[in-house]
C-alpha cells in the first residue's frame, strides 16, 4: 500500500427492498388459497378448516362440491418480483360470516386481486363492491377452471359491471407464472392510479 492511498474498495450500499401488501380476495371456492400457494416463495401460511354438516346452511358449495376445506382467517405468502420489490400476499376468507376480518387485512394494502369463476360470477360481487367502496385499486383475475366455459374478457367485464380502468385478466391459479402475471398487473394498476392522483390539476 502506498502512503496516503488505499486499495480498500467501498462496498456498494444495497437498498432495502420495498415491501408491498396485496390482498387476494373473492368468493368461496374461487382459488385464493391455490393462487397464494402457487406463487409464494416461502411455505404459505394457511388457516383452513374442514367443511362440516353444521356449516352447510352457511357455505354454498354449489359448483364446488369437491371442496372439503375453507379458509377461516387468511392465507399468507411472499414473492419477490424484483430484487428491490417484495410482495406480501394476504388471502381473505370467502364466506360472508368471516368478512369482519377484511377491514383488518385491508389496512396498508396497495391493492387487491379479485378472483372470479365464470361458473359462479355472483361470488365475486361482494369483493368487487368492497374495494370499489373503499377506493382501493384492484384487478379481476378469471380463474380458468377445467371444464368451465371460456368467455372474452370484455364479456366478463360487462357481466361484473366494472369500469374500463379496472384490469381483467385470465389466469390459472395453479400455475406460478400465471399467478405472478396477475400480481404484476395489480401492482402496475395501483402504481398508475397513485401517479395519476399525484399529478397536479391543470389550470386554465
Backbone angles phi, psi at 156, to 5 degrees: -65, -45
User: pLDDT (tens digit, 9 = 90+) per residue, 119-167?
Assistant: 999 999 999 999 999 999 999 999 999 888 999 999 999 999 999 999 9
Q: What pLDDT does 11 receive?
A: 46
Bridge-partner residues for 169, per DSSP? 141
Does the pLDDT of residue 100 top 80, yes or no? no
Spans of all domains in the chain: 18-198
126 in Cβ contact with 27 (< 8 Å):
yes
Helices (H), ranges, the chain: 32-39, 102-106, 125-134, 153-160, 176-198
Q: What pLDDT does 94 receive?
A: 66
If phi over 0 gives left and psi between -120 and 50 gives alpha, with beta otherwise, what is residue 31? left
C-alpha of 101 from chain center = 16
Q: What pLDDT does 52 receive?
A: 43
User: pLDDT (tens digit, 9 = 90+) per residue, 22-80?
Assistant: 999 998 889 999 999 999 999 988 665 454 444 444 445 444 444 445 544 589 999 99
Q: Work out the pLDDT band at 86, boundaries 50, 70, 90.
A: very high
Q: What pLDDT does 97 receive?
A: 61
**DSSP category for residue 172:** -
CA separation for the pair 172, 39 (Å, rounded):
11
Q: What pLDDT does 200 receive?
A: 67
Does the pLDDT of residue 177 top 50, yes or no? yes
> Domain 18-198 falls in which CATH fold?
Rossmann fold (3.40.50)
* C-alpha grid cell, residue 102: 377484511
CA separation for the pair 91, 89 (Å, rounded):
6
Amino acid at each position: 500500500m502506498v502512503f496516503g492511498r488505499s486499495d480498500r474498495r467501498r462496498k456498494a450500499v444495497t437498498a432495502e427492498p420495498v415491501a408491498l401488501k396485496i390482498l387476494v380476495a373473492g368468493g368461496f371456492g374461487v382459488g385464493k388459497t391455490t393462487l397464494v400457494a402457487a406463487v409464494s416463495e416461502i411455505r404459505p401460511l394457511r388457516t383452513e378448516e374442514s367443511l362440516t354438516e353444521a356449516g352447510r346452511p352457511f357455505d354454498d358449495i354449489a359448483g364446488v362440491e369437491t371442496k372439503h376445506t375453507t379458509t377461516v382467517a387468511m392465507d399468507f405468502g411472499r414473492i419477490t418480483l424484483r430484487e428491490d420489490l417484495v410482495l406480501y400476499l394476504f388471502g381473505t376468507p370467502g364466506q360472508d360470516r368471516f368478512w369482519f376480518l377484511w377491514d383488518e387485512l385491508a389496512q396498508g394494502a396497495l391493492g387487491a386481486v379479485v378472483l372470479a369463476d365464470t361458473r359462479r360470477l355472483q361470488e365475486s360481487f361482494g369483493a368487487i363492491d368492497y374495494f370499489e367502496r373503499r377506493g382501493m385499486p384492484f384487478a379481476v383475475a378469471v380463474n380458468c377452471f377445467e371444464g368451465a366455459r371460456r368467455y372474452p374478457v370484455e364479456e366478463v367485464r360487462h357481466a361484473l359491471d366494472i369500469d374500463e380502468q379496472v384490469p381483467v385478466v385470465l389466469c390459472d391459479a395453479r400455475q406460478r407464472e400465471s399467478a405472478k402475471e396477475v400480481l404484476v398487473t395489480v401492482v402496475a394498476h395501483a402504481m398508475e392510479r397513485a401517479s395519476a392522483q399525484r399529478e397536479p390539476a391543470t389550470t386554465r
